[in-house]
Amino acid sequence: MPLTSVADRLRESMWRSANDKRLKRLKRVVDAMPATPPTDLTALDMGSDTSLAGFLAAVGEAAGRELGLPPFPNQYQAAAALLRGASIELATGEGKTLVGAMAAAGWALQGRHVHVLTANDYLAARDADWMGPLYRGFGLTCGAVQAGQDLPERQRAYGADVTYSSVAEAGFDLLRDRLATHPNRRTGARREVVLVDEADAVLLDEARVPLVLAADAEPHRDEHAVALAAYVRGLEAGEDYVVAPDRRTVNLTDAGLRRVEADHPGRDLFGTDSEFLVSLNLALHAHAVLERDIDYLVADGRVWLVSGSRGRVDRLQRWPDGLQLAVEAKEALGSAPGLQVLDQLVVAELVGGYEQLVGMSATMRAADEELESLYGVQTVVVPSHLPCRRDDQPTRLYATSDQRDAAVAALVGEASGDGRPVLVATQSVRESERIAGLLRAVGLDCVLLNARNATEEAAIISEAGSAGRITVSTQMAGRGTDVVLSKDAAAAGGLLVVGVGRFASARLDGQLRGRAGRQGDPGESVFLASLEDRLVTDNDPDHPQPASVDGDGQVEENRANRRVLGVIDHAQRVSDGDQRSLRWLSWRYGELLRVQRAHLAGVRDTCLEGPAALERLAGHAGEEIAELGERVGQDALEAAARLALVAAIDATWSAHLGHAAELREGIHLRALAREDPLSEFEKEMGAAYQGLAEQILDDAVATLLDAPVVDGRLDLESLETRIPSATWAYTVTDNELGSDLTRIGRSLRRLMSKD
């Protein structure tokens, strides 16, 4: 839409009511923005008047009229920053949904298509529904994508000016579009502007979680994994291995290592066969840490780590391959149907496909350098419209986790007794169950929130602000919904947020604290940590011991304890740094594959219609193909060439991905051998890609010439069945498992340095 007609439209609908005085005030508000990054304001010049301020006046009017939400001054500032291309930090409860919609309307009026990405389906539907009248006020449309929708429904949702969707659905749709066998089987999503809600969580915390499309494949049985599963069953718990108290990790003891060495003579565990030790660790993890029906289910002869809308094919999660295999071996499912990964992507690839990326969250600033270096995102901090009245207490540090747990129970009991709502946040699902059990054991009634049913989540969180209510949750649960205080609860001092242990980064701590004290509410936050927390044992195992603790085991605030009191912050910095380098590393590992994928997808696109596919194949094996053409006719030949080529491209890419995964799994071991694993990886994958083109053409020609010809007609249907269809869509998780190969690599390195 040309800009002049945007201006006309604005003037027609909303403009008249935005009088001069209001406009001037808005211009002042916008000009008073904290330092905005340099932006292209001309892109927003909507004709005459004061452009951006003019649009904001109109959209503000519409928000008041259509939604009953006249924006606060800081919401205008936030929307202006977004429209200028910056990402925003805005505290929880300040109304990011409306801000996002104001900006989205601005982009859409410039004729740009907008995708608003939320944490889950529930929020996508809710926000589209809630903000719909605002868009309609401007003659714009909006739609929401939901899991389980069929293609026409998705096409409708993507056909709207503004489309709300979860990150996962947007990713799966991009993958499906890439694998479509005909242009009209695509969603039609136009990837122009993407606005990511909870941007730091999506772009950083979940950045390494791949979204995967897979097809059913031949059963496979890994004898090695099966043998190891049997072997670890014979090891003695407590003797040969110990499971950490939080039940998240298992480690071989020195005695265990000696036993493994003795049982496998000829294996050089700390040298050439270190890969064996990795597989053994995975088998042990599957055996000793993961429990059937708690951590995973066995259904239809498969092991599934189930989440989301229960039992739904669309939203499954899997572990990284090695661990998945180990669990399958443990459950003796070796002959279960396998999965063939067709294509996958991480969120970086999804958001990188848009012309423009902006984000919003309550905790952007703490990560702004990383967000800028990875995604080129610049952040502006927008002040709250009311001053924050939340009281953030310093962390209380206890010597042992038992002492800390007792202190948590006491604190929660007291606050709840005073009529304050309490939100207890834990580090993992297991931990949340443990803490809930503990509270119930001392007679404290609590609601446990860790199931990932988003609809329930929203309901539980919206109740979490009533007087005396105790809610125990995991960190990410209930994202995007507000804890609204009841009158009594506010009078009693507002929400108390209790963190059981500090999180892996200060930013995550901040996300949690933000639950309390929304929109000027009273509130308080405090973390209770212990020296036995994983944050400490993982990242600062050689910390100093406290010189003195009080009667409850809390490390006393005095000079002698100065160093030990700093342990938590130190461990958190180490952990944060580790996470950051991991993200950087996976980004680098992914880079080459992303380029290769984009290139191949481009080739594939040109082959979906017309004679391009046939021309490519004819260039490869002209004579035989010409001869086939004489028998079946040109049209049939072109159609068959398209199918054969697409089938070959998809199969070859799938194999290439498999190769990359294998290489990566093994390559960290080369790091131990002091080779540069990344450049090794790139060298090998680069060379492998060189060979793909030839192989694709060979395969496609063979398929084409193999196709049955019945009565002078080519059997296109049988060719179509050669293209594997994506029956599975899932995410791969290594959350909460601590089985990450890097951890194993780390412990291996420790072991080796002992010698």
What is the x/- site pattern for ligand ADP, positions 448-487, by CB under 6 A? ----------------------------------x-----
293 is in an annotated binding site: no
**Whole-angstrom distance, CA of residue 599 vs CA of residue 689:** 11
Full DSSP string of 124-140: HHHHHHHHHHHHHHTT-
Looking only at residues 331 through 390 of this chain, which bind ligand ADP when binding is defined by CB under 6 A?
none
Looking only at residues 257 through 316 of this chain, which bind ligand ADP when binding is defined by CB under 6 A?
none
How many residues sit close enough to ligand ADP to count as binding (CB under 6 A)? 14
CB of 480 to ligand ADP, least distance (A): 6
Closest CA to 575 of 540, 542, 533: 540
- Residue 600: phi and psi, rounded to 5, are -65, -40
Among residues 461 and 564, whose Cβ is nearest to ligand ADP? 461
Span from 4-12, 18-26, 96-104, 664-672 in contact with ligand ADP (CB under 6 A):
96-104
Among residues 72 and 122, whose Cβ is nearest to ligand ADP? 72
Enumerate the H helices of 267-360 as residue ranges.
Answer: 274-288, 321-330, 347-352
Residue 51 zone, left/alpha/beta (φ > 0; ψ -120 to 50; rest): left
Looking only at residues 56 through 95 of this chain, which bind ligand ADP when binding is defined by CB under 6 A?
69-72, 75, 90, 92-95
- What is the maximum alpha-carbon separation in the chain? 94
Task: Name the 3-class secondary structure at 88.
Answer: strand
Residue choice 74, 97, 378, 450 for contact with ligand ADP (CB under 6 A): 97
- Residue 212: phi and psi, rounded to 5, are -130, 140
CB of 70 to ligand ADP, least distance (A): 6
Looking only at residues 98 through 127 of this chain, which bind ligand ADP when binding is defined by CB under 6 A?
98
CB of 169 to ligand ADP, least distance (A): 20
CB of 69 to ligand ADP, least distance (A): 4
CB of 99 to ligand ADP, least distance (A): 7
Among residues 476 and 500, whose Cβ is nearest to ligand ADP? 476
Looking only at residues 482 through 511 of this chain, which bind ligand ADP when binding is defined by CB under 6 A?
482
Name the token pair of 305: 């780590």
77 is in an annotated binding site: no
97 is in an annotated binding site: yes
Among residues 76 and 319, whose Cβ is nearest to ligand ADP? 76
CB of 23 to ligand ADP, least distance (A): 19
CB of 98 to ligand ADP, least distance (A): 5
CB of 478 to ligand ADP, least distance (A): 11
Among residues 69 and 189, whose Cβ is nearest to ligand ADP? 69
Q: Give the CB-nearest residue to ligand ADP.
A: 95
Buried b (16+ CB within 10 A) or exposed e, 650-689: bbbbbebbeebbebbeebbbeeeeeeebbeebbeebeebb
Angstrom distances, CA of residue 354 to CA of 210, 347, 664:
18, 12, 28
Among residues 93 and 308, whose Cβ is nearest to ligand ADP? 93
Q: How many CB atoms lie within 10 A of CB 310?
A: 11
List 496's β-bridge partners, or say none.
422, 524
Residue 411: partners with Cβ closer than 8 Å, 6 or more residues away? 496, 498, 526, 528
If one asks whether residue 515 binds ligand ADP (CB under 6 A), the answer comes out as no
Among residues 71 and 523, whose Cβ is nearest to ligand ADP? 71
CB of 63 to ligand ADP, least distance (A): 7
Q: Is the dihedral of CA 167, 91, 204, 503 positive or negative?
A: negative
CA 293 to chain centre: 24
Among residues 72 and 107, whose Cβ is nearest to ligand ADP? 72
CB of 61 to ligand ADP, least distance (A): 12
Residue 742: partners with Cβ closer than 8 Å, 6 or more residues away? 582, 668
75 is in an annotated binding site: yes
Helix axes 321-330 and 274-288, enclosed angle (nearest 10):
60
Among residues 71 and 359, whose Cβ is nearest to ligand ADP? 71
For 185-190, the CB contacts below 8 A with 24+ separation are: 185/151, 187/151, 187/154, 187/155, 187/158, 188/155, 188/158, 188/159, 189/115, 189/158, 189/163, 190/113, 190/158
Q: How many CB atoms lie within 10 A of CB 742?
A: 14
94 is in an annotated binding site: yes
49 is in an annotated binding site: no
Residue choice 9, 27, 84, 96 for contact with ligand ADP (CB under 6 A): 96
CB of 382 to ligand ADP, least distance (A): 10
List 390's β-bridge partners, or say none.
523
Among residues 153 and 482, whose Cβ is nearest to ligand ADP? 482
Among residues 435 and 516, whose Cβ is nearest to ligand ADP? 516
Task: Name the 3-class secondary structure at 192.
Answer: coil
Annotated binding site: 75, 93-97, 482
Annotated binding site for ATP: 75, 93-97, 482
**Interface contacts to ligand ADP, rule CB under 6 A:** 69-72, 75, 90, 92-98, 482
